[in-house]
Chains A and B, each alone.
Chain A
Amino acid sequence: MDAARVGVITFPGSLDDRDAARAIRLAGAEPVALWHADHDLRGVDAVVLPGGFSYGDYLRAGAIARFAPLMTEVVDAAKGGLPVLGICNGFQVLCESHLLPGALLPNAGLHFVCRDQRLRIDNADTAWTTEYRVGQEVVIPVKNRDGRYTADERTLAELEDTGRVVARYVDLNPNGSLGDIAGICNEAGNVVGLMPHPEHAVESLTGPSTDGLGFFTSIVKRLVNA
């Protein structure tokens, strides 16, 4: 059986695209490079929007990338159920694209923060988290400048009530996110946005843990079983 094909979009200013591709490979899938300026998802089974500073984030993080030609296809496909994971800048792009609610503001401390962060997985039913248990704590690097999740009260209540908070910061909230939110998903659970970087926790040699691999193996299992 062919390996699942997972696309990684490169926007101008994407930085963790090769890391995401490596994680996908380690999870047993085939990474497929996608170019922001194309209108072609190349038949991938899932898509990762990687971290970085698309367009320098000189405007607002993700605000320009969301107008990339390929995002038309991503939005359509996501609405049709294609699994999509946005990491860091990718999360910001998903919020800007309205695939996910809310927004990400500059960190509370106004500094870029890079640290090995303890998280709790609060939803193990999304397309990207089935390999985890609810309540499981993992250590995954967080590194961002604009990572403070925010949304209006109604949206926050809805996210909480419907179990759409995928992961939360534990021990310490590195950026002032409301509700310690580190990641959320859409109603269908196929679109997940995550501020921490699971692709940096896939090898014991280079990461603080291998706890991040589960995000990628989750999607691979799902695709294989589909």
Chain B
Amino acid sequence: MSDERWTNDDQRAPEGSGMTERDERVPGGGPEDAAGGPGPQQDTGEPTFEWFADLKSDADDPELQPVSNSVTAAFEAIVEEDAPRDEAAEPGAAGPGTGPLPAVGAEPGPVGPGAGPLPAVGAEPGPGVAPQPPVPQGPPTGPQPVVPPEGAGTGPQPVVQEGPPTGPQPAVTGAFPAAPQPPVPPQPAVPPQPPGPPPVVMSPDAAEVFAKALAAERQQSPEPPAPDHPVPDHPVPGEPAGPGPFAEPAPAAGAAEPTGPQPVPQPGPQPGPADPARPKLATEMTPPDEPVTDTVEIAAATPDRPQPYAELGMKEEEYRRVREILGRRPTSAELAIYSVMWSEHCSYKSSKVHLRQFGEKAPETDALLVGMGENAGVVDIGRGWAVTFKVESHNHPSYVEPYQGAATGVGGIVRDIMSMGARPVAVMDSLRFGPADAPDTQRVLPGVVAGIGGYGNSLGLPNIGGETVFDPCYAQNPLVNALCVGVMRHEDIKRAVAPGPGNRVILFGAGTGPDGIGGASVLASATFDEESQAKRPSVQVGDPFMEKLLIECCQELFREDLVVGIQDLGAAGVSCATTELAAAGTGGMHIELDSVPLRDATLRPEEILMSESQERMMAVVEPAKVDRFLEICAKWEIPATVIGAVTDTGRLVMTWRGEKIVDIPPGTAADEGPVYHRPYEPPADLAALQSDTPGRLTRPTTADELRRTVLWLAGSPNLASKTWVTSQYDRYVLGNTVLAMPEDAGVLRVDDESGLGIALSLDGNGRYTRLDPYSGAQLALSEAYRNVAATGARPLAVTNCLNFGSPEDPGVMWQFARAVEGLADACRYLGTPVTGGNVSFYNQTGTTPINPTPVVGVLGVHDDVRRRVGIAFSSEGATLALLGQTREEFGGSEWAHVVYGHLGGLPPKVDLPAEVALASVLVAAAREGLLAAAHDLSDGGLSQALVESCLRGGLGAQITLPGDPFVSLFSESVARAVVAVRPGSEGRLAALCEAAGVPVTQLGVTGGDALHISARGADGQPQELFSIPLAELRETHEHIVPSYAND
């Protein structure tokens, strides 16, 4: 596997909006600007490029940038160049009730008797209300992002002046203390809408014109298309038109004469105002005060026009390179494409040079059907079945708007999996928050959990595991990493490619609205502070119902083999999907950008290109199959529109109202982004941290102290039961969940007949990684590997989500480089290739980065899930044994963290050979049916494993500790598991262990209703130290309402 593949993966990842991780630095003219204060930027000798500071004056200019830190504002700047806005209109436009509104009540819905609002429902107060998008009503009405009423400061909505409020706007008011969505407002007086295409907002004038245009389009579209087809005089998309896929675009008056205030072009030669000889239509289409569209022609004629690349997060070098590539200045639409495609999180420009190792060091394996370089890797699990899985972050959006941030994180990763041709079959989530009792955690956590549940549950995907971790370092930078796994037959694997000139490009799913415009850039970079509120409109809003329909629709499309290539839209939306599909295909594509169905008719082409509206997919379809494709979409009530065709020109060309606004070689945007070799060096405090070992901490010695420590840990936020979280997730749907949380790994049946199945675990440890990034990443992998093996599954492949601070901080970059190296080395040793992943940078508050947190997912295969092993001690009299070797290892341990809040020393020693040996024993023992239970030892050591296994099965145990009680109970040495052996199988297990070189220590036996802990006295005889009744354990571990709960 070439490193190129990983590189591709990096670049491709963004379309899953799981990739919409805001990895990016400031788009708004510089970090300080965006963060609203001194950012953490450290110009520590950036070797390749310098930040271009000169333009910052522009960014600071209120004329140009009424909003301090949004890319909407940057676009404003673009627009400003072409057409100074009517400033007076701005405040109103951004005020409540004037933003793009869902057109509620456009049609009387099927409301019958009894369908009126139940007062009690809507009136239910309190946060945590239903996972409902904050839409008034009406199912797939593509929820609109809400605009805080702080108005002027929150990002002017482009040109919405004539859009009167059309319904009650559920604008979020003021601050956002309540975590999830506020309750659905009292049912609007308007009747609900029947399912159908998303409504759009448009000016009354435009509506009339569009209505006419629509008539021509209707036959072509299975659904009443979103009435935003403003190009009725073009050949109907989908019909071959001559040699090219499209007829020559009708020359339209791009610089046509609007009736409103005339946009004044910026300095530089302009092609002049409308040529009266040109057809009139484009003029009619142009809302009165719409600015002139920046066409290729204009760009060529006005080489010196200043462009707001810095506001878009581009550096001067990068901008210059775009000009070199194009041989002219980019149009504003092209600039939008390059800025977003070359952003950190789409191009992986800082991480690429390190991520290559995943390819270079990839182990020999024949399990990989599709390696890195697609939306997700695909693994062969046998019997003709393939599995695809991937984890992605949605950290920053989840901090800004916990419910929607987390929900759309799930939505994005699910679409990634769908676009491989798979049926998504489960999700998992790895969550990290600030202290459990911090007030903000009470805002963020319930919202995130409700969002993940609300979206995943509505999709009908079981949530089968994950983690919930608390640490002060995540206080203002929670981590929300979502994993999705999908299953398909080998022959059904799909790629994100667009081959075959003449093939049609179809956009299907939700309409395009102003959601998260520039979200890819805006939130990415910002470190969080009080300015975050102003960013709320940048977070996308999810519609899980639409996504569920998309899943079923895609399954049917795949089944009938109607798709040549497919790509989901996430970060960078249409920009990303078109450039990547084209770059991976024949190389050319022609898109009529104004065919994109809109939820907000006022969107400018640049905004359409960058919109991160959710629940959208793009497919490449042979002309002969277009009709059937559209039929199936219609069956599922999914709007679908032909927006272009594949060409062999090697150019990605986009037109807007007949004029060419984009003409680029797509590979330059998709694959040839900048690459940075950022400087790195160990953090200054690392040596001090590592030398501050936990040896100085006073240990519990008496029986009573040990007992209290067991309970203290069992009830601590990181180790306590997460039922409050996991009970909000559906783990049963689809009927194939064999094991789910709190088991070591989620286990799914794939094939009913043979019992073939998979296991998945998702693990990370930021404290370990902080102490030693190389080891920390390997420890995350080791734990996930061990967890999967503990269920009896053979570990097969790896995905990862790398959550780090700012790559511009050499200390963080060093952590990143070391972690990647450690992970790549360990993957090679364990024979588990990395199939794909995600990098999330800029996770920090001010200048303080989070603990580096690589989260690693391991996929394993069960030949027969009926032989899986769970963690529960449920049968009396089973022999308990400890597999593996215990050392005195407390650096970064839960004990040091919980009892002392201490972080120092070195993490447990990585022992990959021991992990392989242990896994081989666990897998063989499961296959032979020797084990009644197995539980890996990790956070909290043996103590915590025993607590969990006893409580899970409702059965106690008598344990004799093999050595020093404290070390035996709480050390976090790796490559260990506790197993309950079926009576009569002890000898066979011992033989397996001996053959594999795995130390076995007899611990005791299951039974009773208490956990009894003994130690060997001086005479070698066991003496009971203490016992804890299960009821007391349960009360401590499970029944205390967590401090983060909001109920």
Contact = CB atoms under 8 A, between A and B. Distances in A.
Nearest to B128: A110
14 contacts: A15-B733, A19-B733, A57-B458, A58-B192, A59-B115, A60-B117, A96-B114, A109-B128, A111-B727, A111-B728, A112-B450, A112-B729, A115-B727, A200-B732
Nearest to A113: B727
A96 B118 CA distance: 12
A96 B458 contact: no
B750 to A, nearest CB: 12
A57 B195 CA distance: 11
Interface in B993-1010: none
A85 interface: no
Nearest to A21: B735
Interface in B110-132: 110-112, 114-115, 117-118, 120-121, 124, 126, 128-132
Contacts of A22: 735
Nearest to A202: B735
Interface of A: 12-13, 15-16, 18-19, 22, 37, 51-53, 55-60, 63-64, 66-67, 96, 98, 103, 105-106, 109-115, 141, 143, 145-146, 150, 197, 199-200, 203, 205-207
B865 A205 contact: yes
B548 A13 contact: yes
A38 to B, nearest CB: 11
A53 B735 contact: no
B291 interface: no
B545 A56 contact: yes
B624 interface: no
A105 B118 contact: yes
Highest count of chain B CB atoms <10 Å: which of A60, A96, A110, A111: A111
B573 interface: no
Given A110-B128, A112-B131, A60 B115 contact: yes
A206 B118 contact: no
Nearest to B129: A110
Contacts of B460: 15-16, 52
Interface stretch (B133-141, B168-176, B780-788): B133-141
B366 interface: no
B103 to A, nearest CB: 15
Given A98-B114, A205-B749, 10 more contacts: A53-B548, A58-B132, A58-B135, A59-B139, A60-B117, A63-B115, A64-B192, A67-B194, A112-B450, A145-B457
A145 B139 contact: no
B734 interface: yes
Contacts of A53: 457-458, 544-545, 548
Nearest to B637: A12
Interface string B711-727: 00000000000000011
Contact of A206 (B111, B112, B133, B735): B735
5 A-B pairs closest in CB distance: A56-B545, A15-B460, A67-B110, A200-B732, A19-B735
B737 A206 contact: yes
A58 B131 contact: no
Nearest to B136: A58
Contact of B195 (A12, A98, A141, A199): A12
Interface in B641-677: none
A114 B120 contact: no
B139 A58 contact: yes
Nearest to A115: B727
Contacts of B141: 58
Interface string B810-832: 00000000000000000000000
Contacts of B546: 56
A199 B732 CA distance: 10
B735 A112 contact: no
Nearest to B117: A60
Interface residues of B, number: 60
A110 B727 contact: no
A15 B548 contact: yes
A105 B734 contact: no
B991 to A, nearest CB: 29
Given A15-B460, A64-B192, A114-B728, A106 B129 contact: yes
Nearest to A66: B112
Contact of A56 (B544, B727, B737, B1047): B544
B124 A114 contact: no
Nearest to A56: B545
Contacts of A15: 458-460, 548, 733
B868 to A, nearest CB: 9
B730 interface: yes
B636 interface: yes
B457 A106 contact: no
Contacts of B459: 15
Most chain B CB atoms below 10 A, which of A13, A58, A206 = A58
- Which of A16, A53, A115 has the most CB atoms of chain B within a 10 A radius of its CB? A53
A37 B115 CA distance: 20
A55 B195 contact: yes
B207 interface: no
Interface in B543-597: 543-546, 548-549
A58 B735 contact: no
Nearest to B463: A114
Nearest to B450: A111
Contacts of B1037: none
A143 to B, nearest CB: 5
A106 B121 CA distance: 7
A18 B423 CA distance: 13
Contacts of B726: 114
Contacts of A51: 733
A12 B549 contact: yes
B383 interface: no
Given A13-B458, A55-B545, A58-B138, A143 B732 contact: yes
A67 B115 CA distance: 11
Contacts of B118: 60, 103, 105
B738 A110 contact: no
A112 B192 contact: no
A59 B111 CA distance: 10
Given A16-B460, A200-B735, A114 B729 contact: yes
Interface string B891-916: 00000000000000000000000000
B454 interface: yes
B121 A60 contact: yes
Given A16-B733, A141-B732, A205 B738 contact: yes
B1047 A111 contact: yes
A60 B184 CA distance: 11
B860 interface: no
Nearest to B726: A114
A56 B327 CA distance: 49
Contacts of A59: 109, 115, 137-139, 192
A55 to B, nearest CB: 4
A113 B131 CA distance: 12
A146 B184 CA distance: 14
Contact of B545 (A13, A19, A98, A206): A13
B114 to A, nearest CB: 7
B708 interface: no
B736 interface: yes
B866 A112 contact: no
Nearest to A67: B110
A64 B734 contact: no
Most chain B CB atoms below 10 A, which of A103, A106, A143, A205: A205
Interface in B313-356: none
B434 interface: no
Contacts of B635: 37
Nearest to A15: B460
A97 to B, nearest CB: 9
A96 B117 CA distance: 12
Nearest to A150: B120
B857 interface: no
Contacts of A105: 118, 120-121
B731 interface: yes
A53 B131 CA distance: 12
